[in-house]
Chain A
Amino acid sequence: MASSIRVRATANGDITEVQALIQHPMDTGFVKDSKGELIPAHFIQELKFECNGKDVFVAEWGTAVSKDPYVKFSFKGAKKGDDLKVSWTDNKGVSDTTTAKIS
């Protein structure tokens, strides 16, 4: 199965810029489907980025994060070729993880 996570990490000198796009419905629990029934809330609660055994960025999300969430940040201390591990967990206990090479 294709990963739900698309991540691009680019090292520029000492700074690595990370952009991640995740496929997830991020249902708020306020929206009704075509039958008029509420679609239960279903959203990513935690998204974590690890590099060289250390958390470099942790996102805690509520339902107000857009569908197919996008996030961008930068950190220091990594170089080209290092692994960046990305993982998320949602409110139903579903999770996914992927590892990207910093380029």
Chain B
Amino acid sequence: MHKPPLATRRLILQGAASVALLGLGNLPFAAPARAAANDKYPEEAFKQKGEADAIKALYGRNAEPSDKVKLDAPEIAENGGVVPISVTTTLDKVTSISFFVAENPNALAASYRIPDGTMASVANRLKMAKTTNVTAIVEADGKLYSATKEVKVTVGGCGG
């Protein structure tokens, strides 16, 4: 009795795939949420240039700002090649945490899967091309929450 919905889903997926093939990848069709997607490296999301497109490619929807997401980043980074950034949250049922740097050549910097039993807290070091916003997105109980902070960069970290 599960056949009809499955068949429909397949049709929708095929439809979505062909739309993407036509180069209209940014149409608002719903990509599967991170938790539901199988655990493959999200290559497409890492290739997106803008932050909005990267979020869409990774999560398929938008995040709402939340003060329960604590993003810790320096006000001023002297070396954009190594900017220490961390995030913690008091939200429950966190399944992933991702970092975006808005004006990097590719906005998505890192995405972490948080299995059951792992704390919703990550510290890492990212490169920043110039002064811009850093956004952390926390996926908790199937919903997306974000925090954003501007980091001033004196020397960019993307060389050239």
Could you tell me which A residues sit within 8 Å of B by CB distance?
15, 26, 28, 30-32, 45-46, 54-67, 69-77
- Take A57-B114, A64-B101 as given contacts and tell me if A71 and B122 are in contact as well, using a CB distance cutoff of 8 Å: yes
Shortest distance from the beta carbon of B106 to any chain A beta carbon, whole Å: 6
Chain A residues lying within 8 Å of B81, measured Cβ to Cβ, are 66-67
Shortest distance from the beta carbon of A67 to any chain B beta carbon, whole Å: 7
Q: A-side binding surface: helix, strand, loop or mixed?
A: strand
A60 and B113 contacting across the interface, CB-CB below 8 Å: yes
B123 and A72 contacting across the interface, CB-CB below 8 Å: yes
Shortest distance from the beta carbon of A13 to any chain B beta carbon, whole Å: 13
Shortest distance from the beta carbon of A57 to any chain B beta carbon, whole Å: 6
- Take A70-B125, A73-B121 as given contacts and tell me if A31 and B113 are in contact as well, using a CB distance cutoff of 8 Å: no
A60 and B112 contacting across the interface, CB-CB below 8 Å: yes
Could you tell me which B residues sit within 8 Å of A by CB distance?
39, 41-42, 46, 81-83, 86, 101, 104-106, 108-115, 117-119, 121-128, 157-160
Chain B residues lying within 8 Å of A31, measured Cβ to Cβ, are 158-160
* Other-chain contact of B41, A54, A60, A74 (Cβ < 8 Å): A60
Chain B residues lying within 8 Å of A28, measured Cβ to Cβ, are 105, 127, 158-159
A45 and B109 contacting across the interface, CB-CB below 8 Å: no
Shortest distance from the beta carbon of B35 to any chain A beta carbon, whole Å: 13
Using CB atoms, name the residue of chain B closest to A27. Answer: B159
Interchain Cβ contacts under 8 Å between A and B, 30 examples: A28-B105, A28-B158, A28-B159, A30-B105, A30-B159, A32-B159, A45-B41, A46-B41, A56-B115, A56-B117, A60-B113, A62-B110, A63-B46, A63-B105, A64-B109, A64-B110, A64-B128, A65-B126, A65-B127, A66-B81, A66-B126, A67-B82, A69-B124, A71-B122, A72-B86, A73-B119, A74-B118, A76-B117, A76-B119, A77-B117
In the complex, what distance in Å separates the CA atom of A74 from the CA atom of B94? 13
Shortest distance from the beta carbon of A98 to any chain B beta carbon, whole Å: 19
In the complex, what distance in Å separates the CA atom of A75 from the CA atom of B86? 16
A74 and B104 contacting across the interface, CB-CB below 8 Å: no
- Take A28-B159, A71-B124 as given contacts and tell me if A61 and B106 are in contact as well, using a CB distance cutoff of 8 Å: no
Shortest distance from the beta carbon of B18 to any chain A beta carbon, whole Å: 27
